[in-house]
Structure 1
Amino acid sequence: MNARLITIAKCGFWWMFWIWTGLITLVAGVGLWMQYQHLVFNDSTCEPVGLYQLRSSPYPLHNGELVEVEIPGPAHHAAVAEGLKYHWFPPGQPWIKEIAAVPGQTVTLARSGVRVEGHTLPNSRVDRWTPGHHHRIVHYSFGTYHLKHGQVWLYAPGNYAFDSSYYGPVPESHILQRAVPWWTIPGSQFWLRKGD
């Protein structure tokens, strides 16, 4: 009886070993394939959830283009410091955002939303609270801003999107690459429901 249990245990061990080896190999293979294809996974609902392909230099910058952007420094942006403190996003992970305005353009930020050159951006109302009213959200000062040389205004259409409405314009040097949706879940940027 004991010998039979030992044999079963050995067989179970080898089955588990080969299953785990196969899973690790599969994950590593997918990771290498994504790297080769220049794909990144966006799990934030600022933009639709899914895979985005990164395509070299984003310059010259244009309104409406999706880009991969480096997180602004928390030392200069209270909203970014708050987001890192409450783990709303991981430190150091680039974001996928849309360029809403480039140098020379005028942006007006109000509680009701963002206007660029007189046109209101969809779903850009500035939120006061996180989902469930757990934390009050710091936002950029309301007002009108004329973007200077080297500044861009970032926008994301999703519910509770974290964009320049909260941390203001960012330096063009923070734009890393152009991003193109490769496979995304339509409407996933609205999965988080808006509160009152």
Structure 2
Amino acid sequence: MRIKRLFIVAAWLAFAVVVLLSVLFLAGIVLVKWSHLVFNTSTCEPLGIYQLEGSPFPLHDGEMVEVQIPGPAHHPAVAEGLKYHWFPAGQPWIKEIAALPGQTVVLKRQGVWVDGHYLPNSHVDRRTPGQKHAIIHYPFGTYHLKAGQVWLYAPGNYAFDSSYYGPVPEIHILEKARPWRVIPGSQYWLVKRSD
């Protein structure tokens, strides 16, 4: 009889723990949605949670934003990234705006210059980490951004930004973003090889 009672108590405790964990999980989802929080797991920006702050317009260079992924049909680098699962399809990205319409961008293997100012850690990689795949990049050259175009930048090692897929339409910018709880320096954890 005593073993049966212990079994019933243990079953009720297990049930209560499962219910409590479920409630906490659902509350976490509601909190994330209500607080406009998103998770960044890429090496483009520091790993962690970012808070979305509404309309990004008017845009300013240096601002951090949430961006809709450019379409793979028009960007071979994006198609390549999706093919090799470098990032999930349809998930928005956190990037910085490096240049706006009217600004000049120079793209070289050594990196990116906007109106003559070098963007730190913007070297264009030839291969993925571990040298497994060659990486498609945007053609090297000088670009004068037209109305409705922005150049995106991410300072992390192996960051996937406009150096690989070129300028993107302003309409791809979804919201302003700011770091909420991130791991400083985590965008540099994957060590970059110079080539």
Give TM-score scaled by structure 2 length: 0.94
Structure 2 residue matching 1:195: 3-state secondary structure: coil
Which residue does 1:171 correspond to in 2? 169
| Residue segments in structure 1 that go unaligned for 5+ positions in a row | none
Match among 156, 166, 178 for residue 158 of structure 1: 156
The one-letter code of the counterpart of 2:88 is P
The one-letter code of the counterpart of 2:177 is A
Query: What is the alpha-carbon distance in structure 2 between the residues aligned to residue 6 and residue 131 of structure 1?
Result: 57
Distance change (3 Å), C-alpha of 1:63 and 1:21: same
Which residue does 1:131 correspond to in 2? 129
Query: What is the alpha-carbon distance in structure 2 between the residues aligned to residue 137 and residue 16 of structure 1?
Result: 50
Query: What is the alpha-carbon distance in structure 1 between the residues aligned to residue 144 and residue 64 of structure 2?
Result: 21
| Residue segments in structure 2 that go unaligned for 5+ positions in a row | none
Deviation string 1:32-86 (CA, Å, 9 cap, x unpaired) is 1121111111111201111111111111111100000000000000110011111
Please, which moves more after superposition, 11-20 or 130-139?
11-20
The one-letter code of the counterpart of 2:83 is K
Structure 1 residue matching 2:39: 3-state secondary structure: strand
Identity %: 66
User: How many aligned positions are there?
Assistant: 194
Distance change (3 Å), C-alpha of 1:114 and 1:24: same
Give TM-score scaled by structure 1 length: 0.93
Which residue does 1:101 correspond to in 2? 99
Deviation of 1:14 (Å): 3.5
Query: What is the alpha-carbon distance in structure 2 between the residues aligned to residue 107 and residue 96 of structure 1?
Result: 20
Query: What is the alpha-carbon distance in structure 1 between the residues aligned to residue 77 and residue 9 of structure 2?
Result: 54
Distance change (3 Å), C-alpha of 1:64 and 1:25: same
